[in-house]
Structure formats: C-alpha cells, structure tokens
Structure 1
Amino acid sequence: MDYQFTIIVPVYNEEANLARVEQELTNYIKIATKKTKVLFVNDGSQDNSQSLIEAIADKNPAFHYITFKNNCGLSAAIKAGFDYADTELVGYIDSDLQTDPQDFNILLEHINQYDLVTGVRANRKDSFVKNMSSTIANGIRRAFTHDGMDDTGCPLKVIKTDYAKRIPMFKGLHRFLPAMVLLQNGTIIQVPVKHFPRVAGQAKFGVWNRLIGPLMDCFAYLWMKKKYINYTVSKRN
C-alpha cells in the first residue's frame, strides 16, 4: 500500500493511554487527506505498553512499531521515527493525546508550500506553572534561534521527510525542529491547533526539563548553527 504520511508516536509508560491512541488515530486515518500509517516508538517502557502496542499492530495493518532496548528519551524516539519513516511526509504526536490527530489535516493543508508545519497550542489546558515555564522557555529559544515560533514544544508537527532525515538530532533537540529546518534553508510555518488536558498517565517533563535544560540546549544549538554544513549540488552525472 502506497502510504504518503507516517505519524510517529513516541511511547514511554503510557499503557493507560494506548487504547485511546488506537481509537483516535484509527478515526483519523479514515479522514486523513494523505494515505497515513502510524509508527509507535516504544522508548524502553517498563509498564505494559509494549504488549498493548503489539496487540494494536496485530489487528491494524496501518500500525507499526519499533522498540528501544533501553529508555533513550523523547528526542531519540523522534529521531528513530525519522530514520525508519519511508513516506514522503512524517508527523509527530504525543501519546498523551493532548493534541487532536484530526488537526493533522490542518497542518497538511500547508505542507506543499512549507517544509515544516507546526501547531501552536491555542488556549492551553495545562497548569499555570507548566504554561509559564513553557512561555519563558519558548521566549529564550526564539531569542537564540530567531525562528519566530511561539510554541516549538507543541507535539503536533508535519515535516517533509527528506528534511527530517537530515536533522542532526541530540538530546533536547526535539524543541528545535523548526530552527533545524531553517538551517537547511527550509521554510516553516505555525498554525493554531486544539489542546486538551492530560486525562491519563503522568507527564514526563518538569520545570527543569522545560526551562533550565532547554536554556543549556540553546548554546548547543548555537554551536551547531556555526558549524552546520549546508551545500547545494549544481550538477552531477
């Protein structure tokens, strides 16, 4: 089957959410504007997530998975999804489903004109501390990257796969995906998407992950920007 779009779903101890993930993504596939499949990336979960993922994939031919031997973190899970994707477009959504898979169609409306389309969460349903730390972190990132993005942490994105595969990922770089596409002279845009409170499972990021860690990552990004290799082939035989 000629799929056009792969949705990456990183999973780390999300057994309470996976039945809902299956239902919501199955519903989305039925209305998707691109022929869509799903790739779970199990980031070394220690609960029953792997068994549930295998059961989902066994009964749904559009669902696939890869499993890490150990927990490696969100950036590694996203990179693995990019590495294993074999469609022209790749997307990403968190397994907590605080964003709506159906909003992928909104992002896909723009992907012919841009190389990365990211959501910006309208009316966020998170706690005051989480919202404030994210707002500060996004402001710091914009100051360093000049990418113009208001919500780089939004877990709803669509990227042209050839750009995604060229991103040199490091831990924490999932917050810099728009900036990394800009380094490739790609084009980016953000569009508003819906946001919901988490209904099951536990959040994997605290204030340190959202604020102090990203500040340190900004310096890694600046080093990478200075050293980044970019070339255009003008002729070949």
Structure 2
Amino acid sequence: MEHQQNRTGAGDDLELSVVVPVYNEEPNVRELSERILAVGREMAVPFEVILVDDGSTDGTPDLLRSICREQPECRAVLFRRNFGQSAAMTAGFHHTRGRVVVSMDGDLQNDPADIPELVSGLQEGYDIVCGWRKDRQDRLLTRRIPSQWANRLIGRLTGVRLHDYGCSLKAYEGDLVRDLVVYGELHRFIPVLLHLRGANMKEVVVRHHARTRGESKYNLSRMPTVVLDLMLMLFFQRFQTRPLQFFGRGGGLMLGIGVLIELYLTVLKFGFGQDIGDRPLLQLGALLIISGFVVLGIGLVSEIVMRAYYETSGRTIYSIREVVE
C-alpha cells in the first residue's frame, strides 16, 4: 500500500471521492467496499474510494491492504493508533481528489445505493447534501430518542436545522472539505462549520440498515461531549473572528460592577465614616475588578492570536463562491 503523508489535491480528473472511516470493521469492510465499487461503476464516472483505518486492533488493516491491491479505485489511509472519527474523516478529506466528496460510515448501516441521489443534489446548486435516516434502525431509548432531542437542540441554537446531524452519509463540494480540519468529536457539526463559510445545503431521506455484524462504537456516554462541542460551535458562529467582543462583554461587566461596588464603599467610608474593612462586599468588588481585567486580557490575547492565524496561514475570514469576469 502507498504510504502517503501529504495532502492530495484535486486535478486527477476524478468526479467522485468516497471517504469511509473504519474502526474494527473486519466483518463489514470487504462487502462495503464491493457495494461502493458497484455503485461507482454503475454511475460511470471516474471515482475513488478512500478507506481510513482509525487504528483498528482486529484484522481490518490487513484486509484493507488486500482490497487496495485488488481494486485500483481503492486507497487506504492507516493510522498508527486510534485518533477518533473526526481525525479519520479529516484525513480522508485531505486525501481526496474528486470534484465531489461523499462520506459514509463503515458499518454497512449506510447504503451506498443512496450515493447517486446525494450527488444529484449537488448538481442542483447545493454545496452540501445531508442524509436523513428517517426510518432509523437503531435502539429507540438509547439511540433514536436522544438523537432526536439533540438534533432539535442543535438546530434551534445554531440556526442550521437538520433532522439528522449524526448521519455520516453526506455529499460535499470537494473544495469545501479538502482543507477542512475537524477536531475532537466535531465531525457531526461539519454542516455548521461549512455554514460559517456560507455553504448552502439540503437534506434527503436515505436508507438505514440495522447493524448485523460487529459492535457499535456509539453510546450515551458521548452526550456530554456533544454538549461541549455544541457550546464550541455557538462560540464559532458568533465570535470566531471577533473573540474580544465575547470576552470584552463579560470582562467589562465584571469590571464595571466591581468599580461601582468600590465607589459605593468609598462613599460610605469617607462620606459617612462607616467602617468597611470587614464587609464581604469589599472583597467581592476587588475580586470582580481583578477578574474583569483578567477576562479582558484573555480577550485581547485571543484577538491577537486570531489575527496572527489568518495573516500567517494565508486563510481568509470569507469564502468566495464564484468570481464573474
């Protein structure tokens, strides 16, 4: 197998790249690759399948090597250890060469037969087409109900309303995701991240199959992580390029309240001769003033870091869809 460390850019005249992160999916990965290859060949477009192994401890890596030797359309990216689905998705995106990129899970619950419909949605002018597992084949209490509530909450708070944030089956314009970096567990928030760049999207109903082989890697223990990631997304939406406004409001409020408290105590001391040395309000005012300066300082440092990032990395705070001349 070819060991590739650098990102691969577009330019090989590929129409479609299918990215599949896998982790301990030895029972499923061969059948999955065969079904994806069948769909790609039926579409009759130049395509590739990128299988990203996230540090599997079973026979998945050896099986991927075998598949790539047998099928010229397949490439594998093998991690040294388990880094998580977001890292695997990012690595897959960075190695794509197709004009269109489709992502999906490696457990055979997503159906490759839905890929043509997702791709046709992009041809309608959308930047992202998201799958919606309307008839989801998972446990009701531990998977479907928590997911429904999470989807509603995320949609309400971010303004990006989707029925199914957790569905990995999505199609993207390749240029949108080729330089995308997804940290932690943010892969489920990719539509929000791309919405920040001005991407438009639609949702289509896709098939969903019950898992018949292997073990699921998802459970309710991930819910706290989802909540923390949601808070990060809200910060990105409102203050990614202006962090001083976020920290400045809180710091300024604490500083202002602290100053007012100390002024009030100063009037009591020198205007009315009252003893203020043993009043808890004195310590509270001092604490608020110090905290206000600290938070404002964090805001200033964040602003400097943000500006240095954009100026030195060559990235911009905007995203251009088209230049007309």
Q: Same fold, TM exceeding 0.5? A: yes
Match of 1:20 among 25, 31, 48: 31
Structure whose residues are more often helix by fraction: 2
CA distance in 1, matches of 2:76, 2:34: 16
- Structure 1 unaligned spans of 5+: none
CA distance in 1, matches of 2:230, 2:134: 25
Match of 1:204 among 190, 197, 217: 217
CA distance in 2, matches of 1:187, 1:60: 34
Shift in CA distance, 178/55, structure 1 to aligned 2, threshold 3 Å: same
CA distance in 2, matches of 1:186, 1:2: 23
Aligned to 2:287: none
CA distance in 1, matches of 2:22, 2:144: 23
Is 1:145 equivalent to 2:232 in the alignment? Answer: no
| Counterparts of residues 153-192 of structure 1 (less than 5 Å) | 153-192=166-205
Is 1:220 equivalent to 2:220 in the alignment? Answer: no
Shift in CA distance, 201/222, structure 1 to aligned 2, threshold 3 Å: same
SS of 1:109's equivalent in the other structure is helix
Shift in CA distance, 33/230, structure 1 to aligned 2, threshold 3 Å: farther
Match of 1:108 among 119, 143, 160: 119
- Structure 2 unaligned spans of 5+: 1-11, 242-315
CA distance in 2, matches of 1:131, 1:203: 14
SS of 1:213's equivalent in the other structure is helix
Shift of 1:200: 0.6
Shift in CA distance, 196/232, structure 1 to aligned 2, threshold 3 Å: closer
SS of 1:194's equivalent in the other structure is coil
What TM-score, normalized by structure 2, do the two folds share?
A: 0.69
Shift of 1:166: 4.1
CA distance in 2, matches of 1:120, 1:34: 25
Is 1:4 equivalent to 2:91 in the alignment? Answer: no
- Counterpart contact for 1:141–1:215, Cα < 8 Å: no
Is 1:49 equivalent to 2:136 in the alignment? Answer: no
CA distance in 2, matches of 1:109, 1:34: 13
Is 1:230 equivalent to 2:317 in the alignment? Answer: yes
Shift in CA distance, 18/168, structure 1 to aligned 2, threshold 3 Å: closer
SS of 1:153's equivalent in the other structure is coil
More displaced stretch, 128-137 vs 52-61:
128-137
CA distance in 2, matches of 1:168, 1:155: 16
Q: Aligned-pair RMSD on alpha carbons?
A: 1.7
Q: In the alignment, residue 202 of structure 2 is paired with which amino acid?
A: I
CA distance in 2, matches of 1:8, 1:167: 14
Q: In the alignment, residue 134 of structure 2 is paired with which amino acid?
A: A
Structure whose residues are more often strand by fraction: 1
CA distance in 1, matches of 2:92, 2:42: 23
- Identity over the aligned pairs, expressed in percent? 29
CA distance in 1, matches of 2:60, 2:117: 29
Shift of 1:197: 0.2
Aligned to 2:106: 95
CA distance in 2, matches of 1:33, 1:155: 24
Aligned to 1:117: 129
What TM-score, normalized by structure 1, do the two folds share?
A: 0.93
